[in-house]
Structure 1
């Protein structure tokens, strides 16, 4: 059952999402060659607690850390290690925070130093597909409209769209209904109505769509060892339109990037 949120609840969820946004922004300037994921994980845990929140992933389903950190061919759910990052790596950082009884949960794939041009393109297309999917999250559309838009865009670039892992509803639970696949058919699935809040998160592979799991029970990798990218936003449906609760602007400020990509998903006055 989909849990519809009031405007007041959506604003509380924005606070939770912004804890994550600020955490990813803090990490952006720390991610560089020679730094290891365990160090970054500890920074994130402390920073989240300093914001009056709790790490959303730590201990959930017995996950041992604050961050899912998935470098290179790891798709998602990577466990932070002491292995140093290297020039040319990419690393997906997925972070969750619990504040005011609500979860924020989003992700960004970072470049470590200078990365190969083909890898840059994978990241670019994956992030573009996120916003293409968000545009379809509007009143009257259905889950399949979002999935189709993401799948079509990424497959037209020759990439593999992961099937086994999906986005989800968000609220007082980290994973609520509806599931939000990154593939599908137009007009299929749950219809969107005002007050829905979801995490849309394309997981896109440079090669095959197929994946495998490590014996640690968590880490998901591409079956062919090629890189994978992951970007995620938290989005509410307000006045029939998608309203971003999370932001990448803290990341962009840290990295000196100018972007207006989020502007179309910000409503000046919200009313339900």
Structure 2
């Protein structure tokens, strides 16, 4: 496994696309209201990204047809925007990728539309709180396996389970780089594998299921749900290790 180490100049290059990710997520959150279609939201995001001289990184990536992954209710990740109109009580996840001058940013949020159930509030809080809890533990010398264990424990203690088969990842000159960072331990010794080093840049993205983490791919070949059929949630930040500490590049 070869994990890229970025110098300070390269991390500076990564700040622009990741700031745009954060701003796009904020814009989408403001427009995610009852009666708005997923395609309208996708266009709002694409127009904003392009207006800022960047490119929606997910459009065309592995054949994905739109600018933003928009996942509603039981769809946890990789939802394809369509004509669905958001309604009161929905939860919706936005996953945004931006490419600017050959450097990539990536981030995601899940939020509620109008009044949502207490269970969905807990579900969203689990993804967000787990992400920030994991970030607080990042330090030089910590193994990525240990970080996966921290994420899994944080999810389980909140009464939920991680989605299996999908993971966080490195990022930089490509949207997905080494290492893969699962949200759970995959059976190997926690003391094995690579350690976090100064200059590493990676995405953490807890993906939360309610009772069963086994994934199911929808007929569109993109949307991912849990076999339990219940709502899920997803949060993501891009993090750089700078001066021995985590810096969230997608937070604005």
The alignment's TM-score, normalised by the length of structure 2, stands at 0.96
Structure 1 unmatched runs, 5+: 250-272
Listed one character per residue, the Cα deviations across residues 204-259 of structure 1 (whole Å, up to 9, x for unaligned) are 11221111001211111111111111000000011211111111x4xxxxxxxxxx
Tell me if structure 2 keeps the 8 A contact 1:4–1:196.
Answer: yes
- Quick check: 1:211 aligned with 2:215? yes
Shift of 1:143: 0.6
Aligned counterparts of 1:186 and 1:119: Cα–Cα separation in 2: 32
Mind listing any 5+ residue stretches in structure 2 that lack a counterpart?
none
Deviation at 1:146? 1.2
Deviates more, 1:179-188 or 1:34-43: 179-188
Contact 1:159 1:209 in 2 (8 A): no
1:182, CA displacement in angstroms? 0.8
TM-score normalised according to structure 1 size? 0.89
Residue of structure 2 in register with 1:237 after alignment: 241
Cα contact 1:71–1:89 (8 A) shared by 2: yes
Q: CA deviation at 1:187?
A: 2.8
Q: Which residue of 2 aligns with 1:261?
A: none
Residue 153 of structure 1 and its aligned partner are, at CA, apart by: 1.4
Q: Does 1:116 align with 2:117?
A: yes
Asked if the contact 1:103/1:171 (under 8 Å) is kept, the reply is: yes
CA deviation after TM superposition for structure 1 residue 5, in Å? 0.7
Match in the other structure for 2:80: 79
Whether 1:221 and 2:225 are equivalent positions in the alignment is yes
Mapping of residues 26-175 of structure 1, within 5 Å: 26-175=27-176
Offset, 1:189: 2.3
Aligned residues between the structures = 248
RMSD between superposed Cα atoms in Å: 1.1
2-structure distance, mates of 1:28, 1:163: 27
| Distance in 1 between residues matched to 2:112 and 2:191, nearest whole Å | 36
190, 195, 202: which one aligns with 1:191: 195
Shift in alpha-carbon separation, 1:57–1:51, aligned structure 2, 3 A? same
